[in-house]
Structure 1
Amino acid sequence: MKIIDAHHHTWDLSVFPYSWMNNPHPTGDISHLKNNYLIDDLLEDAKNLELIKSVHIQCQGGINSPVEETEWLQSLSDKQGFPHALVVYSDFLREGIEKEIEEHCQFKNTRGMRYLLNYINNDPINCFAPKEALLDTTFKKNYSLLEKYNLSFDMHLWWTQYSYAFDLIKSHPNILNIINHAGTPRKRDEEYLSNWRNGLKTLAQAPNTVIKISGLGMFDQQWTTDSIKPLVLDCIEIFGINRCFFSTNFPVDKKYSSYEKVWNSYFDITKDFSIDEKEKLFFKNAEKYYRI
């Protein structure tokens, strides 16, 4: 089966500092990330799989400007053929970023943007954003620019923020929103998962929203196919085959399993799906939504 990894990262610590790697992280110890992960490493991890394309998600590289990361990644793609699409970063809480967005778009693989939204008041370990950005006027203004530049938005947030996200998404029907990591369910108790599922049902009401199923090891670090299967199937049931696709979150999730294990689990979970359904989940939907 052909696959597209629609969510991976690449970094070279000799090029950029990636200072966020020194910060506390909701998944716990992330010291394993302080090693280079290059395109050759991705291809080595995928050597026994039919990986045909990939999508790189921003890592807040760059020294003087985040556009430096985009330029570097485009150079990797030009030399090695991977990644095929870039989801890039700008600080959406900063005024006047349109020129920076224009600069990102000078690179042919740029397809979307991501600003990490995760925020819980008085719970700093679970905050990637310094405030509830979804309610911030500057954030909303910058988000609205995505339509002008034909960019999608990768949305990384907790279920407690889904209602805010839904209000924003509804107000901009021409911006495609790609929910990251199955909506990042960070707990596995039934009360939490019930809220997560209900929130996804709200988000799914917006036709300009799709979901990436990935990163399920971050908060289930001894995961098995059986432990992630209900979450995978929930996403597919709620959003439908045409609005879901698989990816890995490597190398972040490399701490919890091999690359092959992730894909083999997806293969096993969908073994009774039709060929058409599997092709959509494993590569066709990623091609469609990231325009690759």
Structure 2
Amino acid sequence: MQELDAWQSGAAEPVLEPDLPIVDAHHHLWHRPLQHYGAPELGADLGAGHNVLDTVFVECMAGYRPDGPEHLKPVGETEFVVAETAGASGMCGAILGHADLTQGSRVRETLEAHITAGAGRFRGVRHQAQYDAELGSMSRRSPPPHGLLDVMFREGVEQLTALGLVLDVYLYFTQLSELAAFARAAPDTTLILNHTGTPLGVGPYANNRAEVFAHWAQGIEDLSACPNVLVKLGGLGMTQCGFGFETHATPPASHELAEVWRPYIETAIAAFGPQRAMFESNFPVDKQSCSYRALWNAFKIITRNYSSDERRDLFCKAAARAYRLNL
């Protein structure tokens, strides 16, 4: 993180519209051998000048219990977030953890343990389903193909829904049709698509930007027809999206980010509508491509022509509703 901070330090820019209320709908915390992003680091980014009222922590295999039953080890992540943010305000008002939903009805014990550990902040599960026939999963979890079609997984989601929890889903643009099929089969489950549906830009997709965009846009349009699905706008700074900002000698300014990200953000908003769309930072993952200040400035630039009510939904209210945040 110190290297990224140094890379970004020479490219500071003024904060645009500093009073606009924001909920950061997706970020992580972790302590890894060469990379720490805990409450102090998050606090430094939140203090960059934007009016971030609260945030949503999303699972990232951090703080698992080192021993005990395997299915309860992920509960350690919720315990970690609660302890990490003790005494802090305006961060991690909602927590999304991991639970192996392929356990079917047996996952209930894990979910109830998360709820207890979350001290009123646990809101649901993030399921990593990302798999591409050409690239595999590119994930530490290595999910299998067509996991959303698994009967036991669907039984596990029923337990999630019965407890009033939401399901975040991370997948690639090539899987959007599978998520739409699942959403139609589970109309009572609130599903939140992560990272704008992840339009890939590496491997066989690196030189096919127009074709990928067309495929992605059709998938987004079809998925938006499911009223129980919302979308997170962001995650486009991930290296697998292929925009290459992380390779630049100097970090991009917000207007550069806005120019590249605008077609994806505007297409997703047009499909889902502002009431079912929310901005996310995906930090510290997207920190490899830009600063926290430039990222939110870029989102503000992209949405300048939207109404005040639409922007409040996009930047704050949609996330607050979805994750039951008391702002």
Provide TM-score, normalisation by structure 2. Answer: 0.79
1:135 to 140, 145, 149: 149
User: Equivalences for 1:96-175 in 2 at 5 Å?
Assistant: 96-106=106-116, 107=118, 108-121=120-133, 123-124=135-136, 126=138, 128-175=142-189
In the alignment, what sits opposite 2:215?
195
2:99 to 90, 98, 102: 90
Structure 2 residue 53 is matched with structure 1 residue 76: no
2:281 maps to amino acid: T
| Preserved contact between residue 274 and residue 313 of structure 2 (Cα < 8 Å) | yes
Using the alignment, how far apart are the partners of 2:57 and 2:74 within structure 1?
14
In the alignment, what sits opposite 2:236?
216
- CA deviation profile, 1:238-271 (whole Å, cap 9, x unmatched): 1111111111100001111000110000111111
User: Equivalences for 1:50-65 in 2 at 5 Å?
Assistant: 50-61=51-62, 62=64, 63-64=66-67, 65=73
Task: Count matched residues.
Answer: 273
- CA deviation profile, 1:185-244 (whole Å, cap 9, x unmatched): 112611111111101111111100010001111122326210101111011111111111
Using the alignment, how far apart are the partners of 2:159 and 2:53 within structure 1?
31
Using the alignment, how far apart are the partners of 1:131 and 1:192 within structure 2?
20
2:316 to 256, 270, 283: 283
TM-superposed CA distance for 1:124, in Å, is: 2.8
| Preserved contact between residue 101 and residue 153 of structure 2 (Cα < 8 Å) | yes
Task: Identify the range of structure 1 (178-187 vs 161-170) with the bigger mean alpha-carbon deviation.
Answer: 161-170
Using the alignment, how far apart are the partners of 1:123 and 1:68 within structure 2?
31
Distance 1:125 1:87, change over 3 A: closer
2:31 to 8, 12, 15: 12
In the alignment, what sits opposite 1:257?
290
Using the alignment, how far apart are the partners of 1:98 and 1:186 within structure 2?
34
| Preserved contact between residue 185 and residue 193 of structure 1 (Cα < 8 Å) | yes
TM-superposed CA distance for 1:159, in Å, is: 2.2
**Greater C-alpha radius of gyration:** 2
TM-superposed CA distance for 1:45, in Å, is: 1.3
Using the alignment, how far apart are the partners of 1:285 and 1:116 within structure 2?
22
TM-superposed CA distance for 1:112, in Å, is: 1.2
| Preserved contact between residue 77 and residue 84 of structure 1 (Cα < 8 Å) | no
Distance 1:39 1:221, change over 3 A: farther
Using the alignment, how far apart are the partners of 2:183 and 2:42 within structure 1?
33
2:24 maps to amino acid: D
TM-superposed CA distance for 1:122, in Å, is: 6.0
Residue segments in structure 1 that go unaligned for 5+ positions in a row: 15-33
RMSD: 1.6
Task: Identify the range of structure 1 (152-161 vs 126-135) with the bigger mean alpha-carbon deviation.
Answer: 126-135
2:23 maps to amino acid: I
In the alignment, what sits opposite 2:46?
46
In the alignment, what sits opposite 1:266?
299
Using the alignment, how far apart are the partners of 2:185 and 2:146 within structure 1?
18
Helix, strand or coil for the counterpart of 1:111? strand
Provide TM-score, normalisation by structure 1. Answer: 0.89
TM-superposed CA distance for 1:70, in Å, is: 0.5
1:98 maps to amino acid: R
Helix, strand or coil for the counterpart of 1:112? strand
Helix, strand or coil for the counterpart of 2:132? coil
